[in-house]
């Protein structure tokens, strides 16, 4: 049986643009120049430095003490490259490829930092789930929601963000009426009037970002975030 984890927060939608204290900012797009001409000599622009973790794939699952091969590549910039791995458990190692194992369970954030010959730096990261090996029982840790926040608030929309301790799907239910308890309420909305569509159902994530749109200006909304 799948476990559904919910967390609650309250936000107030701001007044429409033009209300006191709001500033509307506009930007002007400028063209990107991919080459420069100096004294009639064409100088090709250097491609930007890029770093990639080729193995393992993000959100993959491994067991405690299982050997995991990490492989990274770099392109662009100026070769040669220096590779530094941060394995998310206090271990930091150098080298393009490296084998590592974990002594404890949980979600590990792995970061690869590449520095090129001209000292340009590029960083990329993935998350892995480390589960117990043996011992019986359910090897999957209970799903925990944390770090809930609301950003990019406009008169009719907002972005709700949160994290989970392991990869899961993302959905937000909301209402203009508070629901302090959802005991006895039926899925999928547990008594809330509105819901966003479920996302990240197949490719689950630990960093969740959901846009809530179609809200009414100057109205207080009550949210719950759902992951499973």
Domains of the chain: 5-23+140-227 (2.60.40.10), 47-131 (2.60.40.10)
pLDDT above 90 covers a percentage of the chain that reads 55
Contacts of 98 (CB under 8 A, 6+ apart): 69, 70, 85
Tell whether the model's pLDDT for residue 14 goes beyond 50: no
Higher pLDDT, 19 or 160: 160
Distance (Å, whole) CA 201 – CA 172: 13
C-alpha 105/C-alpha 156 separation (Å) is 41
Statement: the pTM of the whole predicted model exceeds 0.85 = no
pLDDT digits (tens, 9 = 90+) for 69-109: 999 999 999 999 999 999 999 999 999 998 999 989 999 99
For the chain, percent of residues with pLDDT exceeding 70: 76
32-36, 60-64, 193-197 — which is least confidently predicted?
Answer: 32-36
Which token pair is 28?
């002007």
pLDDT in tens, 139-163: 566 788 899 999 999 999 999 999 9
What is the overall mean pLDDT for the chain? 81
Q: Alpha-carbon distance 54 to 72, whole Å?
A: 5
Can you read off the two tokens belonging to residue 175?
């209402």
Contact in structure between 58 and 127 (CB atoms under 8 Å): yes
Please give the residue that has the higher pLDDT: either 25 or 102.
102
State the pLDDT at residue 30: 35
């Amino acid at each position: 049986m799948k476990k559904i984890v919910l967390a609650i927060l309250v936000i107030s939608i701001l007044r429409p643009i033009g209300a006191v204290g709001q500033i509307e900012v506009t930007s002007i797009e400028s063209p990107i120049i991919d080459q420069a001409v100096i004294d009639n000599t064409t100088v090709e622009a250097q491609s930007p430095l890029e770093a990639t973790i080729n193995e393992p794939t993000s959100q993959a699952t491994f067991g405690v003490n299982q050997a995991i091969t990490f492989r990274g590549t770099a392109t662009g910039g100026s070769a040669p490259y220096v590779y530094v791995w941060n394995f998310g458990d206090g271990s930091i190692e150098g080298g393009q490829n490296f084998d590592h194992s974990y002594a404890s369970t949980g979600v590990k954030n792995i970061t690869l930092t590449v520095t090129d010959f001209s000292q340009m730096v590029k960083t990329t990261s993935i998350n892995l789930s480390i589960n117990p090996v043996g011992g019986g029982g359910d090897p999957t840790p209970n799903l925990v929601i944390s770090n809930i926040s609301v950003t990019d608030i406009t008169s009719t929309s907002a972005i709700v963000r949160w994290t989970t301790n392991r990869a899961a799907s993302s959905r937000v239910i909301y209402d203009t009426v508070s629901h302090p308890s959802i005991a006895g309420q039926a899925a999928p909305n547990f008594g809330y009037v509105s819901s966003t569509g479920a996302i990240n159902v197949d490719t689950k994530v630990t960093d969740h970002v959901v846009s809530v749109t179609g809200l009414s200006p100057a109205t207080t909304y009550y949210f719950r975030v759902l992951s499973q």
